[in-house]
Amino acid sequence: MTNHWIDIKNSDCILIMGSNAAENHPVSFKYVTKAMEKGATLISVDPRFTRTSSRADIFAPIRSGTDIAFLGGMIKYILDKDLYNHEYTAAYTNAPFIVGKDYSFDNGLFSGYKAAEEGPGRGAYDKSQWAFDMDSNGVPRKDRTLKHDRCVFQLLKTHFQRYDLETVSKVTGTSKDDLKRVYKSYAASGARGKAGTIMYAMGWTQHTVGTQNIRTMAIIQLLLGNMGVAGGGVNALRGESNVQGSTDHCLLWHIWPGYLKTARASNTSLEEYNKKWTPASQDPLSANWWQNYSKYSVSLLKSFFGEKATKDNQFGYNWLPKVDDGKAYSWFDLFDAMYNKAINGFFAWGQNPACSGSNAGKIRKAMANLDWMVNVNLFDNETGSFWKGPGVDPASVKTEVFMLPACVSVEKEGSITNSGRWMQWRYPGPAPKGNSLPDGDIIMQLGHKIKKEYKNSGTFPEPIRNLKWDYETNGIYDPHKAAKEINGYFVKDTVIKGKTFKKGTLVPSFAYLTADGSTSSGNWLYCNSYTEKGNMSARRSKTDAVNKIGLYPEFAWCWPVNRRIIYNRASVDLKGHPWDKKDWVIRFEGEEKNGKYVTKKWTGDVPDGGWYPLENPDGSKRDDAKHPFIMRKHGHGQIFGPGRADGPFPEHYEPLECPVEKNYFSSQMTNPTAAVYSTDADAHATCDPRFPFVGTTYRVSEHWQTGLMTRPQPWLMELQPNVFVEMSEELAKLRDISNGERVKVASARGSLECTAVVTKRFRPFKIGYATIHQVGIPWHYGWRWPADGTEESANLLTPPAGDPNTRIPETKAFMVNVTKL
Amino acid sequence: MSKAIFIDTTLCTACRACQVACKQWHNLPAEETVNRGSYQNPEDLSFSTYKLVRMNEEIIDNKLHWLFFADQCRHCRDAPCLDTAFDERAIYKDPLTGAIVYTAQTKRLNADDIIDSCPYNIPRRAADNTLAKCDMCNDRVHNGLKPACVQTCPTGAMDFGERDVMVAKAEKRVKQVQATHPGAMLLDPDAVNVIYLVSQSPRLYWEFAMAQPGKGGLKRSVALRKMAGPLAKLINV
């Protein structure tokens, strides 16, 4: 979230699309309710009428996988009706930037496309063709009047000209009236002082166009001036209490902690690595915060290798693994490699891929190729027991499986980082049961054992031998030591910015990290969370900030530097006055003399940098100011996003498996850069009469993830005892299915038995001239529990295709059949 | 003055945390259920289910509504079950909280009579005819806590407090809701200590959302006792 949970209450219009917050983030509705009591409009856009829809002012049904068409229509509506925030768009976004002549878009393809000869990536773009025109100083050329025919604003207009109501309705299945109602209500948040917010989750991300779904909304939020303001932002509702934290600390393969880049094989030295990933801006008004990259990367290496990391050995850079250039190592790729017998050992740590992974049948088969698997979890699950799962002959599986029992999160001390980027410290509850251990203890012991193995021998032993591994007190994992390591220390007496810091003291904030090896920090983004003033995340003050918008700055701690709403410099106009006088985030209160600001002072939230506003009260420009989007190279919100794999503008493509034979926007049917896997376990079927219905997966309030913690819980099983498939009354009639009957749901990859829930909440869609039915299945179930094995995972159905930027699987739109047993 | 619960169904998202919290506090066993083609489960209140979110899909004025009704004992101010039982060892009213509480002694009552007397179809029996229902978490309330269901509600659909405060809140809120839903109403607010606010016709939520005549009607013996009032109780003791 750019904003945070409490901040939802400040919104004037809440769009819940790509998520089902009432069911899957129930507590968020405390704040949705507060906003509605103050008159906010709630809009629910979903293939099916959900518990969220039941509370909404407007419900608009949409066919799964057509969000870009839906939102693209909104962009066109906003531009056609002149509802965008002119001042914000011209000053804070890259709408005025002039795009180079090489950029073009024709019939679904951007310039620079080249199809791949072999998969899984189907093709890639030469992104240099999307570059901005630069002036003689190397600064992007701009037309702040937004009239230049190659400025981003005009290109945006042209690009979405095709997204008229007629076509959008034909693609999405949403009626034109519903589209207009949603567009009108949401676009109203573009008025000065009004804010609209988006609450999205996996309904947007899990598509072959997942990243671009969110990009489309980001464009809308920028046009309406909703970024940086209270009650606005782009807000991802995370699916677990600590998903944000695990992402910040590099759960994903392509990043190191704090969103530093994983080193590529071509980054042969630390110097080259830093040079490659440090963006350079020639614009004096651009803060270009990532220019500090090397301070963060070197501090991270110091944290990994401690005193062994020296300037002479590039701080141990060459001890870290590098990934091959152009190759992906995502979840999909790992299990693909396992299926192809390229991986023979596997730690399944706190996860249940046999039920949670898309195309789970392939994952289960892949695990039989392993020599060994270590299952670290609370209980045995479908993953640890895959060798005795449905259709598996245990005698034929060679894999040796070890179970390491982990204790549950509430039994241990430590922190979680919630969707709103709040790091919250938790004290331990009841003591762990049996021989279960905190993950920290398991991983510490594992590290000690591996170090012992490498002590006197081993291939390339340096990374293991030199790894700093001292996060214990009296032999027990100490979460405070880990938290301090993450924040970071001065590793020698240092003078920075005129201040002297003693060796061993905690770094007060990332502004004090250095690239010369005098600081260590496990994650620059968390530098400021645990300082000499104490553990900031353990704070529990209930005092609100001066602006009284629910920031509660001394409750827990928030990255970066306790800034509760990021990009908040965009919440004020060029002179530093809030767009919204009532629910303001920050405000410039510097002194003024003869129409010029002469002192600097911001109040409210921690501002995105304390520089002067861009303009003086008399309207003159300042040369000591900075543009508000400080994490972007050029300091502007990116309506044009030339860094994405699949294009600088979002474009509607059909899901890999879809019910229509034509993309009404272009002749490019599916995302030309999607990742599609192609072993014999990766079947797909599009416009195939065997699988005529759109399928999607989702969660319910009553279960969590693959149900490992909820399926053994009788009170929750009482509420939702069976995997079910929801369908319309029309489809049930078509297939002669009665409500409550067990039926078979099948895709090109697998099938499972489900209980039919025949409901008015699903309606057939009118797509073009065809009637398209959609069904949905929750993915919480698995054969291991209930013990009779009747309930299975919906991921046996889901497809082997992913977004080109993230490789997230397309589990939200695929094709199935539903038949009587 | 007694306590009261205010249930604003316009804020309920049917997350059913209240249903689980009730089972947890009262340590009630889960029922063996199957999906019958609905999210609502168990199908009905029972001896081990005191609180149940009833869920109905209704098309009203061409618009689909999913109506949620967190059903439970209303703790009637003048409770027919109490009068019918006429045995304070089995069913009593806590004078401090207004809670109508059933004890294990309900086994000695005529269960059919008690069940039939309830205008909201609440009490349920065990195999041995012991009766059970919501007790307003009377033990929690005496210890300064809110009932478990109210405590756990994430959206503020449920509130608990002094009856006059809850009635005032309900009356204020219903006026607000009426601005957009003219048919919004409070259900039997003068007669009960669990006051529901609904925005649609009560019957669409649940047959017994509002008081219905008991199946057996008011029995002659009960009517006589009611007429005699406290005096009759004295005589009986």
Q: Which of A49, A718, A756 lies at the smallest CB-CB distance from B64?
A: A49
In chain A, residues with a C-beta closer than 8 Å to the C-beta of B33 are: 717-719, 721
d(CA A628, CA A636): 7
Interchain contact, B16 vs A701, CB within 8 Å: yes
Whether the pLDDT of residue A263 is over 80: the answer is: yes
Instruction: Supply the Cα-derived Rg of chain B in whole angstroms.
Output: 18
Question: In terms of Cα–Cα distance, which of B87, B120, B109 is closest to B209?
Answer: B120
In chain B, residues with a C-beta closer than 8 Å to the C-beta of A775 are: none
Helix (H, G, I), strand (E, B) or coil at A127: helix
Please state the separation of Cα A486 from the chain's center in Å.
22
Interchain contact, A740 vs B35, CB within 8 Å: yes
Interval A726-755 mean pLDDT: 98
The helix or strand, by DSSP H or E, that contains position A256, with its residue range, turns out to be strand A255-256
Q: B37 to chain A, minimum CA–CA distance in Å?
A: 4
Other beta carbons within 10 Å of A31: 24
Residues, chain A? 821
In chain A, residues with a C-beta closer than 8 Å to the C-beta of B158 are: none
pLDDT tens for residues A518-546? 999 999 999 999 999 999 999 999 999 99
The helix or strand, by DSSP H or E, that contains position A499, with its residue range, turns out to be strand A499-501
Distances (CA, A) of A539 to A249, A549, A556, A775: 21, 19, 5, 46
d(CA A332, CA B213): 62
Nearest CA in chain A to B152: A27
Q: What is the ipTM of this complex?
A: 0.94
Question: In terms of Cα–Cα distance, which of A668, A688, A766, A689 is closest to A68?
Answer: A668
Please state the separation of Cα A300 from the chain's center in Å.
23
Q: Which of B11, B23, B35 lies at the smallest CB-CB distance from A715?
A: B23
pLDDT tens digits in sequence order for chain B, 237 residues long: 799 999 999 999 999 999 999 999 999 999 999 999 999 999 999 999 999 999 999 999 999 999 999 999 999 999 999 999 999 999 999 999 999 999 999 999 999 999 999 999 999 999 999 999 999 999 999 999 999 999 999 999 999 999 999 999 999 999 999 999 999 999 999 999 999 999 999 999 999 999 998 665 556 566 656 655 555 454 443
d(CA A502, CA A345): 44
Handedness of CA A267, A270, A271, A277 (dihedral sign): positive
d(CA B125, CA B110): 11
pLDDT tens for residues A136-146? 999 999 999 99
Q: B29 to chain A, minimum CA–CA distance in Å?
A: 8
pLDDT tens for residues A699-720? 999 999 999 999 999 999 999 9
d(CA A246, CA A486): 13
Token look-up 């791949």 returns A116
Interchain contact, A718 vs B38, CB within 8 Å: no
Helix (H, G, I), strand (E, B) or coil at B183: coil
* Interface contact B167, partner A, CB < 8 A: no
* Interface contact B183, partner A, CB < 8 A: no
Q: B237 to chain A, minimum CA–CA distance in Å?
A: 42
d(CA B196, CA B170): 8
The fraction of chain A above a pLDDT of 70, given in percent, is 100
pLDDT tens for residues A12-27? 999 999 999 999 999 9
Question: In terms of Cα–Cα distance, which of A680, A694, A821 is closest to A767?
Answer: A694
* Interface contact B169, partner A, CB < 8 A: no
d(CA A652, CA A212): 9
Q: Which of A53, A701, A717 lies at the smallest CB-CB distance from B30?
A: A717
Question: In terms of Cα–Cα distance, which of A542, A267, A235, A294 is closest to A419?
Answer: A235
Interchain contact, A51 vs B14, CB within 8 Å: yes
Q: B24 to chain A, minimum CA–CA distance in Å?
A: 8
Q: Which of A30, A719, A722 lies at the smallest CB-CB distance from B155?
A: A30
Whether the pLDDT of residue A769 is over 90: the answer is: no
d(CA B10, CA A424): 32
Please give the sequence-ordered ranges of beta strands (E in DSSP) within A559-647, or none if there are none: 586-588, 592-593, 596-597, 602-604
CB-based contact A738:A758 (threshold 8 Å) = yes
Q: Which of A31, A54, A741 to mutate to test the interface with B (most CBs of B within 10 A)?
A: A54
* Interface contact B36, partner A, CB < 8 A: yes
Who's near A257: CB < 8 A, 6+ residues apart?
Answer: A248, A249, A250, A300, A486, A522, A523, A524, A525
Q: What is the pLDDT of residue B228?
A: 56
* Interface contact B37, partner A, CB < 8 A: yes
For the record, the structure tokens of A749 come out as 């990859």
Phi/psi region, residue A40 (left: phi>0; alpha: psi -120 to 50; beta: rest), is: beta
Other beta carbons within 10 Å of A474: 5
> Which residues, listed in sequence order, are joined to residue A756 by a DSSP beta bridge?
A725
Q: What is the pLDDT of residue A118?
A: 87
What pTM was computed for the model? 0.97
Q: What is the pLDDT of residue B223?
A: 60
Helix (H, G, I), strand (E, B) or coil at A691: coil
CA angle, B128 then B134 then B137, to 5°: 125
